[in-house]
């Protein structure tokens, strides 16, 4: 079996060698049409020494570039991120339809990583998936927008790439990024709430993501706040995300427009009567322009957000709540009412410290940046194993050169 020759750490191969190296990686990542190379069967022995155990602290993680992947319901974003959270290059493509097989999504991830690897040294890959990830961070138990059902994503991707892979929930990766580089820096106890199509969440304590016994902690959006309320796609009624999310915002606006309410005339005129064209960003834009109904809708969403945050404060008592996701782009139109409702509903108000409520700073790249930074925790063992393989090759090369010299002199 012939294995690729990998240059020592810190040494960039020239163009020809880099091309040859990436061709080998592509052979590993995609089996041949004849089916003679099963996925993962041609990986180098040294790579098999890379285990799933991660470093316990980012402080001891290697300062190397890694790739972060953020997989949502509509887009897959991939980027090379350095140890300081700077994005060196970013790619984006559409998420394959949920009717597609899991392999189609895996192919998309692998292609993005290989594309970035053509121009960057990639030491590990982190994936933030919009779904429930098990405690071992290997399987995606369920993803509402994809065809993943108990899918061993980490093992499948690691079997096709010659680098370690880490998988986590996308809200966990976003929270990690905000704690490391954004609005949560310096906080010991942080709760992240992501407002998008629904509500996601994550908990960080003392530099550790709290995932729960089975890995699915932080599903705040499915706390029931209105018994018998709006039906949620999860099957229950009255879930928090049915009252404070992008879906809730659009649903309320469309209902008012469909009822031909006088307060909705502005948005009806804006969409020329096509109620289905009403979107969350449109509502935010009109609110900024002074549309009274849109301002009121964001206030309603913000008030429900504040009620939920007060409940979480009673249960978790963090020092900071970071609000991210697409809906958070409304900024003070949303965060202001949330802060007011939080103060009104906080248990023991007036007699206890109040957590800080801050808008996320890293925007839509937070999940990608966090996934890449978490991947650095598994990168070191790969580097050591890779270095040992290089050293073995160099010793063999010196021995072969010595033998040739000895035979020539004889």
Order across the sheet with 125-129: list the strands.
Answer: 87-94, 75-81, 66-71, 125-129, 165-169
DSSP tag of 67? E
What residues are paired with 320 via a beta bridge?
190, 356
**Cα dihedral value 164, 169, 174, 179, nearest 10:** -80
> What does the alpha-carbon distance between residue 313 and residue 346 come to, in Å, rounded to a whole number?
7
Average pLDDT over residues 96-121: 85
- 193/307 same-domain check: yes
pLDDT digits (tens, 9 = 90+) for 19-53: 444 444 455 555 544 444 443 333 333 333 333 44
- 200/332 same-domain check: yes
- 116/214 same-domain check: no
Residue 161: per-residue pLDDT: 87
DSSP 3-state percent helix, strand, coil across the chain (nearest 5): 45, 15, 40
List, in order, residues 6 or more apart from 165 with CB less than 8 Å away.
124, 125, 126, 127, 154, 157, 158, 375, 378
Average pLDDT over residues 296-313: 96
pLDDT greater than 70 at residue 314: yes
> What does the alpha-carbon distance between residue 183 and residue 217 come to, in Å, rounded to a whole number?
21
Residue 169: per-residue pLDDT: 92
For residue 14, is it within any domain? no
256: left (phi over 0), alpha (psi -120 to 50) or beta: alpha
Residue 379: per-residue pLDDT: 81
> What does the alpha-carbon distance between residue 313 and residue 76 come to, in Å, rounded to a whole number?
33
pLDDT digits (tens, 9 = 90+) for 230-246: 998 888 999 999 999 99
Residue 29: per-residue pLDDT: 54
pLDDT greater than 50 at residue 306: yes
List, in order, residues 6 or more apart from 247 with CB less than 8 Å away.
197, 198, 241
57: left (phi over 0), alpha (psi -120 to 50) or beta: beta
- 82/117 same-domain check: yes
- 241/165 same-domain check: no
197: domain range?
185-360
CATH number at residue 112: 3.30.420.40
For the record, the structure tokens of 333 come out as 């139109």
Our count of domains for the chain comes to 2
For residue 299, is it within any domain? yes
For residue 102, is it within any domain? yes
Residue 53: per-residue pLDDT: 46
- 329/241 same-domain check: yes
DSSP tag of 355? P
Q: Comparing 175 with 31, which gets the higher pLDDT?
A: 175
> What does the alpha-carbon distance between residue 78 and residue 240 come to, in Å, rounded to a whole number?
30
- 226/346 same-domain check: yes
Average pLDDT over residues 193-218: 90
pLDDT digits (tens, 9 = 90+) for 348-363: 998 999 999 999 999 8
Alpha helices in 135-245 (DSSP H): 153-158, 170-181
- 132/54 same-domain check: yes
Residue 278: per-residue pLDDT: 94
pLDDT greater than 70 at residue 387: no
pLDDT digits (tens, 9 = 90+) for 255-282: 999 999 999 999 999 999 999 999 999 9
> What does the alpha-carbon distance between residue 330 and residue 211 come to, in Å, rounded to a whole number?
29
> What does the alpha-carbon distance between residue 149 and residue 171 come to, in Å, rounded to a whole number?
19
Residue 144: per-residue pLDDT: 74
For residue 354, is it within any domain? yes
- 255/214 same-domain check: yes
- 215/348 same-domain check: yes
Residue 308: per-residue pLDDT: 96
74 touches 406 (CB < 8 A):
no
pLDDT greater than 70 at residue 388: no
Residue 380: per-residue pLDDT: 58
For residue 7, is it within any domain? no
- 333/199 same-domain check: yes
The overall average pLDDT reported for the chain is 82
For residue 330, is it within any domain? yes
Helix axes 102-117, 15-29, angle to 10 degrees: 170
pLDDT greater than 60 at residue 131: yes
**Cα dihedral value 328, 330, 335, 338, nearest 10:** -90
For residue 21, is it within any domain? no
Q: Picking from 15-29, 206-220, 278-292, which range would have the lowest pLDDT averaged per residue?
A: 15-29
């Amino acid at each position: 079996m012939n294995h690729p020759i990998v240059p020592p750490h810190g040494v960039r191969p020239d163009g020809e060698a880099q091309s040859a190296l990436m061709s080998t990686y592509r052979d590993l990542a995609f089996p041949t049409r004849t089916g003679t190379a099963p996925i993962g069967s041609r990986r180098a022995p040294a790579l098999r020494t890379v285990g799933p155990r991660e470093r316990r602290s980012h402080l001891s993680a290697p300062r190397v570039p890694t790739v972060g992947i953020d997989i949502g319901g509509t887009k897959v974003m991939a980027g090379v991120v350095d140890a300081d959270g700077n994005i060196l290059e970013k790619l984006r493509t559409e998420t394959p339809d949920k009717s597609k097989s899991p392999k189609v999504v895996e192919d998309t991830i692998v292609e993005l990583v290989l594309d970035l690897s053509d121009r960057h040294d990639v030491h590990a890959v982190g994936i933030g998936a919009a779904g429930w990830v098990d405690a071992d961070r290997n399987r995606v138990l369920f993803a509402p927008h994809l065809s993943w059902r108990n899918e061993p994503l980490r093992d499948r991707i690691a079997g096709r790439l010659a680098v370690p892979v880490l998988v986590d929930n996308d809200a966990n990766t976003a929270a990690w990024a905000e704690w490391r580089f954004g609005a949560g820096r310096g906080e010991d106890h942080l709760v992240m709430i992501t407002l998008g199509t629904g509500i996601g969440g994550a908990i960080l304590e003392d530099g550790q993501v709290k995932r729960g016994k089975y890995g699915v902690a932080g599903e705040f959006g499915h706390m029931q706040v209105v018994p018998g309320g709006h039906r949620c796609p999860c099957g229950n009624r009255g879930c928090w995300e049915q009252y404070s999310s992008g879906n809730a915002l659009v649903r309320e606006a469309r209902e008012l427009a469909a009822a031909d309410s006088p307060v909705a005339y502005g948005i009806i005129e804006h969409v020329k009567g096509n109620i289905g064209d009403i979107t969350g960003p449109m509502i935010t834009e009109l609110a900024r322009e002074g549309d009274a109904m849109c301002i009121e809708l964001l206030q309603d969403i913000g008030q429900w957000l504040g009620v939920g945050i007060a409940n979480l404060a009673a249960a978790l008592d963090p020092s900071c709540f970071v609000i991210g996701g697409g809906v958070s782009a409304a900024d003070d139109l949303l965060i202001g009412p949330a802060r007011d409702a939080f103060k009104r509903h906080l248990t023991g108000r007036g007699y206890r410290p109040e957590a800080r409520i801050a808008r996320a700073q890293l925007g839509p790249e937070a999940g990608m940046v966090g996934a890449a930074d978490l991947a650095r925790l598994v990168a070191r063992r790969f580097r050591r194993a890779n270095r040992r393989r290089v050293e073995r090759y160099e010793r063999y090369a010196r021995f072969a050169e010595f033998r040739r010299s000895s035979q020539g002199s004889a």
